[in-house]
Amino acid sequence: MAWFERRPSPGVIFHSDRGSKYASHAKQARLADYDMTSSMSRKGNCWNNVAEL
């Protein structure tokens, strides 16, 4: 919904936890459809890793 309201530039970073709904092939394919880059913390690491890309 946020994509439709804001229409971000290609390559925008979508940061989430490592939950199965975010790590699924379907979700990753949808992010690719919208030219979004997925970002997740490492397993067992709850910190925000956006700056590490």
Task: Tell me how far apart the alpha carbons of residues 16 and 25 are, in angstroms, rounded to a whole number.
Answer: 15
Phi-psi region for residue 41, left (φ > 0), alpha (ψ -120 to 50) or beta? beta
- CB-based contact 10:16 (threshold 8 Å): no
pLDDT the model gives residue 14? 82
Average pLDDT over residues 22-35: 86
pLDDT the model gives residue 53? 47
* Chain-centroid distance, C-alpha 47: 15
Quote the tokens at residue 38. 């997925």
Average pLDDT across the chain, whole number: 77
Return the percentage of the chain with pLDDT > 70, whole number: 74
* pLDDT of residue 7 exceeding 70: yes
Compare 36 and 2 and report the one with higher pLDDT: 36
